[in-house]
Amino acid sequence: MTSVPTEHLIEATYLIATALFILSLKWLGSPTTARRGVFAGEIGMLLAVGGTLMYQGIVEYKWIAIALVLGSIIGVPLGKVAMTAVPQRTALSHAFGALCVTLVGTAEYYLRAPDVPPFMMGVLSMEVILGSLTFTGSLMAAGKLQEILPQRPITYKGQNVVNLGLLALAVVVAAALVRHPEKMQLFPVIVGIPLVFGVMMIIPIGGADMPTVISLLNSYAGLSAAAMGFVLQSKLLIIAGALDGASGFILSVNMSKAMNRSFTNVLFGAFGQEQASGAALGSEQARSVRSATPEEAAAILAAANKVVIVPGYGMAVAQAQHKVRELYDALTKRGIDVRFGIHPVAGRMPGHMNVLLAEADIPYDKLLDMDEINGEFPQTDVALIIGANDVTNPAARSDHASPIFGMPILDVDKARTAMVIKRSMGAGFAGIENPLYYLDKTLMLFGDAKNFAGAIVRELAGGRE
């Protein structure tokens, strides 16, 4: 008599969890509701886990409890990483999830073999292939972002043929297993080959494309989880995996559009090789740049009516977001109109700059995306670029030889004055020379972003007093 109410309770719990997952994605689409979205997702996942633990088919809770404790021991420290490490932390999460999917798929096959129906064998094959390549691909992406592995592309002749050949071989073996599931010796092949493919897939991809790669791997992880839902006959897992896969894919498409690049170009184009554009090689290397001190920068900012601040990964590395908030406060107190221009691929993951600035309590209505802010640069007195390189590179508009030609950029060079806080003249993450630094209207503010922004704030405070 207790089994029916328990089943109904589980179904109700799953239904609420599903609704929370959907609402979480909706709310995460806006900075003003993002915190609510995170909270909804967390509650939804808690309900999903709780509902699963209510199943009467569970024989022994001891090993589940041990796994929960071990997962918490590992997960809590990983959740306390610096904001600059969030992209690689996200990649590791994809890797762990994909490994889980692969292990569950492998266990299910050997439990069911040799009597596996064709549809179930096909889903199992999709699950382990996507899970395996996502596992190693995510580890490679995390390694590149952490700079443990080389960030520049590693290419060789015929690389794409080799990579696609590996994937095709795994698919052929999977098709053979669908027809003959009793050939258990073939199953390790559809696990092992994608593991290798995951490594080979990321090797030729440069660091500048990592934001898109992370979102694409997120999509793969979601699709593999959805496939696992079919295997385990879990409607909630199917829905959650489909939401994850679809949202990751849509985000990848949007990221590619933001860089004016196709998926094939991202995955096979070897973007990010160290090089300089033709314009930079010719004249700009022979030219000197104009630099300024914090005192001079503060004076220019104090005389401005309108300032647009453009953050980049350099701000994240220096953890300068709170000093940037102090700079924002100091300028607005003087009656200066200050806004922030956010490029979709600034940083190393989608929304990286928005998260950092939100952490520093910058008003949401001051964070404008590229399409909103670009029309305002011609009327802007000062464009202050803080650690952003490739997303402000005018070569994307004019230099057909540049690897980033055609990529939409922030039009900071159209402002009356551009000031760039940067440690050195080194190329950005894509390894491409930036002609912006050599323009007559540009002033280079060499130094750590946090220290330099702090020095400007002090000068502004002293000048006001």
User: What are the residue numbers of the active site?
Assistant: 390
Residue 144 in contact with residue 207, Cβ under 8 Å? Answer: yes
Amino acid symbol at 273: Q
HSE, side-chain direction, 13 A CA sphere, residue 363: 8
- Rounded CA-CA distance 408/323 in Å is 28
**Which burial class, exposed, middle or buried, applies to 368 when counting CB atoms under 10 A from its CB (0-12, 13-18, 19+)?**
middle
List the one residue out of 324, 314, 329, 313 whose CA is nearest residue 357. 324
Count of beta carbons in the 10 Å neighbourhood of residue 274: 11
How far the first Cα of the chain sits from its last, in Å, is 78
The greatest distance separating any two alpha carbons of the chain, rounded to the nearest whole angstrom, comes to 86
d(CA 229, CA 79): 27
Count the Cβ atoms, other than its own, within 10 Å of residue 114.
Answer: 10
- In the beta sheet, which residues pair with residue 367? 340
3-state secondary structure of 308: strand
Task: Give the separation between CA 321 and CA 299, rounded to whole angstroms.
Answer: 21
- DSSP 3-state of 342: strand
According to DSSP, the β-strands at 306-311 and 337-342 are parallel
Quickly count helices (H) and strands (E) in the chain.
18, 6
